[in-house]
Amino acid sequence: MNKINCVIVEDEVPAAQELKYILEQHKELSIKATAYDGNNGMKIIKEIEPEVVFLDINMPGINGLELARQIKEFKESIAIIFVTAYEQHALEAFEVEALDYVLKPFDEIRIDKTVDRVVHKYSFNKPELDIALKMNEIITRLTEEDKTAKKVPCEHNGKIVLIDINDIYYCYIEGEKVYVKTIDQKYSAIFNLCKLEEKTKFFRAHRSFLVNLNKVKEMFSWFNGSYKVVMDDIEKTEIPVSRNNVKKLRSLLDI
């Protein structure tokens, strides 16, 4: 898939720089430009015609809501994602058909979910992915009817294979791909990490890792308030737990 072109319109320079840094960690996105007011933002958008605009609401001159309306009049297919410190504009954001509404201060895991929405919107299904999606729908229906049917469709050697959730140790992002790891094998995941999190209910240890806590052997404090967990796989893989997720991990383990 080609990279998704994005523009940031944010009047606060530190916030714009932080958002740009977070978004640049996602290889699916290309941050083409940053504007610090609505007028320049609209000018840049007309020149670049991006697929996505990350847009602050409270700005001098043209505010984000008015700019969003102008963007939609210019090119309706451009996805708008509002980034704001205020919750009260959510209804108005819905009225201009915003793809998402992200609150400041920025949370990387929350933005991961936003990026997943963007990627899903601009992805084009491959034939094998169509099969996997249909298979997943069947599995989901079976799961709803029979709690014992819990499988994750993956790709391996050109085939779609079904991996039992209980056999998965962790899921992770490497390069631009998502993988599912069992005790001694890894498989190419059909779905993104957020979809896998929803399906498996695994612990989101880090923006790039989901962990099956039933497969953790040990854990230890690491750096600047963060932790590492050691998996009980053959490699005894060490997985980082971001500082923001340590409290949740301790709560889940009741320690």
Domains parsed from the chain with CATH numbers: 4-122 (3.40.50.2300), 149-252 (2.40.50.1020)
More confident residue, 98 or 20: 20
Would the pTM of this model clear 0.75, i.e. be above it?
no
Answer whether 209's CB lies under 8 Å from 171's CB. yes
> How does pLDDT run across 211-237, given as a tens digit for each residue?
999 999 999 988 777 889 999 999 999
Two tokens at 217? 């052997």
Question: What pLDDT shows up at residue 82?
Answer: 92
What is the rounded average pLDDT for all residues in the chain? Answer: 85
